[in-house]
Structure 1
Amino acid sequence: MSLDAALREQMCLLAKSLFDRGLTGGSTGNISARTADGSLLVSPTGTSFGRLDPARLSHFDVQGNLVGGDAPTKEMPLHSAFYDTRSTAGAVVHLHACHSVAWSMMPGVDPDNFLPPLTPYAIMKLGKVKLLPFYRPGDPAMGEAVRGLAGKRSAVMLANHGPVVAGKDIEAACNAIEELEDTARLAMLMRGFDANMLSQAQVRDLVTQFDVEWDD
């Protein structure tokens, strides 16, 4: 199996795993990954994560021209913004995950640091997550908002919509976005309780020890 074919299979396998566990439903969500030659594979528009066809993934060449597969997701500006501003981005995943969307609608959430410091893992995998305002789905302004972060964030939360995460490869991006959703779920569960969160010193230790991107 060629590297391209293996990546296609891996994208569809991971997408189905996310779908099967209820992390995005129906025809929501989109996923993309860089190939070894620098081209891009993207989930097509209107497709379900549970039923992606490896042969029909949208395929863009290194110049950004669609050269194969079906028409891509309308959220291409989001994906392009991460690839263009983060040299380490090898994959991007966007979900309509229930708990993170719910957390985005709660009053008092810090837009510069969306997730509270409940466990070390979201800090280690995501750094700070930026909460962006609501945009109409497919609005190119979402991509411009990501570009405005100048590559400083690997993850954003689109208010009332869903999380978007870039990773070094497709597995890392999927693992990180699952951690985002898990942490948002914990935050919802602990809402109204006086939770013992990680201290600033503990957060700083994690950032230092695991070389986490963390703009103060």
Structure 2
Amino acid sequence: MKHIVVLTGAGMSAESGINTFRDADGLWEGHDVMEVATPEGFAANPELVLDFYNQRRKQLFEVEPNQAHYDLAALEKNFKVSIITQNVDDLHERAGSTIVIHLHGELRKVKSTLDDNDILLWDKDLILGDLCKNGHQLRPHIVWFGEAVPMIEKAIDLCETADILMIIGTSMQVYPAASLKDYVPENTPTYFIDPKPNIGSGKNLTVIADTATAGLRKVMINLETY
């Protein structure tokens, strides 16, 4: 069974109504990312940061997977499909995908400020005073700027076994995620789907300037030959 590795970013969830991570002015939902997506921001104003992610978590329950999410899940009927996402939503899982690696964390989880491996499922508001089993404040299970990306090695391992690579809805500008495309075997067919692609065509590379759903449908036609 051929192995498809899919790298997804904010454009994957845009059709579900989730805003892309940063606007053109560098803000995320009206906030300076340095205030809400860094350890320093959390240390300076933990209540602001907790409230910010509480609002993002609430938004998640108001949206549904879009057709592109469902189409990727459907590919598992004929392929092994591994999804490596920069998104912190759970729309891939809700659509039925079974192998999903979250590089930047997950909104529906929290973790101890003492132990990164002490992770809990969490669907309610997180407030100051919510503690881990060892008595330390809980924080969003989000990889903030300046923090290590613990899932990157597992993602690299998956990329090294890819027969086909898809890149959907991400500019591939944020590292280390952007480096993953360099780990797929040489001559691996690669499909880059984005409404405003920032990459030119090349050997074994097909660029599709379209939304996630429309672009993926075009790729799926090609996949019938594999």
Structure 1 and Structure 2 fold alike (TM over 0.5): no
Q: Write 1 or 2 for the structure with the bigger share of strand.
A: 2
Q: Write 1 or 2 for the structure with the bigger share of helix.
A: 1
TM-score (norm 1): 0.30
Larger Cα-atom Rg: 2
